Structure 1
Amino acid sequence: MWFKKRKPAAAAPGLDVSMHGDTLAKLQALERSVSTYERIFRGSRGYAFLDWDLPNSKMAWNGGFWSHLGYSDADMEFISNPDKFIEYVHPDDQKKLMSNIFAHLRSSGPGEIVFRIRKKKGGHIWAEARVDAERNAKGRVVYMSGIVFDVTKLKQTEQALLISEARHARIIQSSNDGIWEWSSAHGGFHFSNRCWEHLGFTEHDDIVNQGMDRMSAWRKRMHPDDLKEFDHTLQEHVQNRVPFDVEYRIRGKDEHWRWIRARGQMTYDEAGKPTRMSGTNMDVTEIKLAEERVLKAKEVAEEANRAKSDFLSSMSHELRTPLNSILGFAQLCDADKSLLPEQRANIAEIRRAGEHLLQLVGDVLDLAKIESRRMGFSLEPVTPARLLAEAVSSLQSQAEMRGISVTLEPACDESDVDVVADAVRLKQVFLNLLSNAIKYNVDGGSVHVGCARLEEAFLRVTVKDSGRGIAEHLQKQMYQPFNRLGNEASSIEGSGVGLVITKQLVEQMGGLIGFSSKENVGSEFWVDMPVYLGQPIEQFADDRRREDMSAGAIPALEVEGERTILYVEDNPPNQRLMKQFLVRYPNLRLEIAAEPIRGIYLARKLQPDLIVMDINLPGMDGFETLAVLKQDPITEAIPVIALTANALVKDIERGKESGFDYYLTKPLNLSQLVNVFNDLLMQENMQSLNN
């Protein structure tokens, strides 16, 4: 609205009571009207009422607008001067304002303009002026009256909206995603050009429409098998509010199948009826092709590994037959007393070479059996002290030939602790470790064998030598098959598989193996075996089978108080497994994020006590997601566990170097996961108590 003010009559000191009654009433009404407008002016801080007398070049201002900008009554003398007023307008808007005023003087009807006005203490506000003109008999404007008001907040909101729209447009453009929307008010679907570009079309291709609406044309190109899944997912989303996230195949312009991942969200009115659904299409064809190549490569590798194991097993058996003949006849020749000393020496070389070759064949056969999981174990209570004594005794002569002393510490002789193991395989482990300690020792060196109880669960056996040690840069290659760590050209015999077999045997019996080594000082290998705690013998096979299936006795959760765990995993079956597992722990609250961006958002919002994260995630992998979390002060201290199917040695090493607190591999070992929970969450408890 606007208000035109006219020159008031000269104020009289009082009303003449002798006036005619009608005239008196009109004057009284006018006085009340003026009082009303004056009250309105005083209460209008953000508004200015303008009455510009052009013939007299005077601008009359009413209202609280100028005091709202910090100006006093003394300033109004300049503001009311049309020649001075323009100085209060922002320099960039002065020309526009003057052009608008001249245009309004030439034309009829109301005028509107938005411009900036300077505040008393600096800075500017946005103002909008709405005015109208009154003309004389000659058509010349004599008065321009109206209202000026502050629209700064509206302008800021408008600018923020424009910036936001531009930002979203850039994001959508850079993401290569197509946009689609359905509206109940308009009916039908809207597809952005990018949706059709995914299929190789442009929006002008006639083949897209084929005389039907866009949605029908799109559905006609979808794979029949995937169309059913698409409709089912859509129905679940509309009726049960299940997230709409589906992948399907669709024929492109070249008639080849493309893979599209569609995600969307339905909105509803107050009555619960669907009103609008918006979503995105992502072209995931290359990802799907990559997945197919990986699966195919995995199948080929697994088949090749099976073929290798079968070949090694078969060849080992085939080689044993002629080797047995060679060694048998060599023994017969050795028993012949009529042979000359030179001949006996030759026979001894044949026997020594044959026995070494037989040992190599046996190692290869064992390795093939272990890798194919065809080596049987007979688990039972075993006394390590007895097996160690037998192993030391059998290798004593080999050590004495080089002046190496082998010492079995009293703790081993006196220990009557039994462990759960296969006696034959455990003795093989001890023999391998002792043989290496002697073989790679220095002449006149020493070997010490020790035993120690680790709490209640394990017994540790250590084999320490004073040999040449292992260079630090070679230690990561310790358990690689046929890798002799630089001793290939030495005079020391070996195949490079002994330690690999030892490690596999120990782990498949439920134990652990490790080592420490320093070049030119020596090495110490240790084996931890589970202590026998009185279980019935017949339970061993079942217990071992359950351990192999990662479904053994799950340890107790020692964490007290409520804890929040965020699981970043895009695979629904894995999500369900974690949900069902954590149901048994009411104090653990589980939050799930199917995408890394969502996971980062929830980590910042919830600040969980622990994050469990897959590595192969859509958009960002687990390593990139971890880097973002560690760079954010809000989330950098949250422990993060990797839980992934990437189980190669290089993957595990990369996971540890990237900063994961634990790197766990699938299939999920529930007992291991609870132990990790106890470790990390109990550390948090201790930190809280210390703080």
Structure 2
Amino acid sequence: SRGREIKEHIVIRAGRDRTPPPPPRVWFVGELRALNRAIRAMTALLDSRYRAMHRSEERLQMATLAGGIGTWDWDVVSNALSGDEQMQRLYHAENGRDWLATWTGALLEADRLATQRALGAALRGEAEFDVEFRIRWPDGTVRHIKADAVIFRDAGGRPLRMVGTNYDITEHKEAEQELLRHRHHLEELVEERTGALSVAVEQAEAANRAKSVFLANMSHELRTPLNSVIGFSRLMADSTHMLDEEKRNLAIIHRSGNHLLTLINDILELSKIEAGRLTAQTEVAALDGLLQEVMDMLSVRAAQSGIALRLDAAGLPPTARLDATKLRQVLLNLMSNAVKFGLRGAVTLGARAQALGGERWQLSFAVSDQGIGIAPADQQRIFEPFIQADGDGAKEGTGLGLTISREFVRLLGGELVLESAPGRGSVFRFAIPVQAALAAPAAPPSEVAALAAAQRGKRILVVDDNADGRALLHKLLAPLGFQVEQAEDGAAALAAIAAWRPELVFMDWRMPGLDGLEVTRRVRAQGALAQPRIVMLTASAFEGERLAALAAGADEFLRKPVEQDRLYRILERQLQLQFERRAAVAPPPPRAPLAGADLAALPPAQRATLRAALQELNLARAGAMLAELGPEFAGVVGGIEDMLAAYQYPQLCALLDAAGAAPASA
């Protein structure tokens, strides 16, 4: 019996006999019977586990074979390395060769150090063994291998055995390299395109900066003399010692200066539109008054052109919150064009309102004329800058009115559209959303007379490198009761501020040497100095300069040409003053427009001379001729001067022709 058990144990360990032996014939009793049952149960369990392990091994072999995964086993203590059949295939190794020598011999020298470091770190327990390296086959082919492993350690943590896998990732690496090459190629293309785009952007930015600098310089150079022209002409017109003829001449100068200023402002507005810096400034406006103001501003010109103006407004809210300045400019541009190209009939400004609920309204406007109309080919082109439609109408102006009007309407929330046909007149329409508002009480018109006696003697320093600009402010301020000193540059301004201690400084921006910004910074940096209020003066019209001036320490920003009303409001606000005011003198009613019969009263020789001067655009010759006429022709002379000031040369020629003036050679 003992011999049979030993033989059965050997058979079980060998795994050859997979069926349990037949039950013994001998009957066991007691503990022997229980031991027999336990041994047989253990035998059955071991057999089932062997079978499961064998099946798992078969599946693992199939998986590693299908995945191209080789397994290896390294006895760390004895330094013996073994590998399966798949490892032989991965390394193109000969059967029976030492695996450690095979692996070290195949490993590329360039990857040897990094792989050994990874192996050492894994053995020390510092990291998992997960590494990629390259091997070389006997035929010279280089393959990429990925290896990872599990380390078995003793109770003290010393490594005993390392079991891992290798698998060939060469195709994966080649695909990565191919993708990397494509990526580098795409990056090169993107870099090339980006470089070209950057050059184009830099060129565009340089051109834009050059345009901005040009506009800023031209704005300064043009508006600076206009400051003197408009300011002194108004100052002289207020004199009580001038003759009516002299006041009319000054009025012509004043209107001409304002006309030139309007043209300059149109160009600057276009630059703001192109730069995207245009914003709406809402205020409470009386709609009926705004529309009537537009009609009044064009009434004289329309009458001189023989065109009737009509206002057709109904259902409007009394007041609304909107950008009244831009709306007024749009309507003036559209109405002015209608009068200019109408040539006959009437021009109608229509306005309607539709309640949208709550305080929201939609205002609709239409400007229609009975003029020459606009050809379909021109109906889009006329909205481009510096473009005017072909036709027989007058050609004065910049050609910017419709461009600016369209952008203003878009800013207000609408769209300007045109309906026209040759010979049938034109209609410009747009609608904008507004919000109704309560009207603020209107202050009666008044003009500054003087300072109260207790407020006189305030010291004001005028800093400007332009002598005419300094003289203008001196003449505006000194008669009101201010003490006024002048400085012609930044260095003189610093000395005057330190010595004279003015309470307010009008500081010109652009000056040779130290400009107004630098002088302001230096003044603000002197904490021990009595700090004056500083109002920055500039002939530029860009909003960015106002922000720069305030950031430098200026308290206010005033543009040239200086508007007297704004100048006085700034003084009241900055010096806590209150000017004494008197009721404004109402302007004289507009002169009745000339007719052909009025010009027929002139001697034929004078009509011919005037006609020739207009053909030559020789205004000096026309002025000399008008000066020769006697006082009995004062009304006619005044009407002619009004038309010359409004640049209505074609209309004046038409009136001369209607009066019977014969064409005269130059």
Place the TM-score, normalised by the shorter chain, in its bin: 0.3 to 0.5
Higher relative contact order (CA 8 A, sep 6+): 2
Q: Decide which structure has the larger Cα Rg and report it.
A: 2
TM superposition score normalised by structure 2: 0.34
TM superposition score normalised by structure 1: 0.33
Bigger proportion of residues as helix: 2
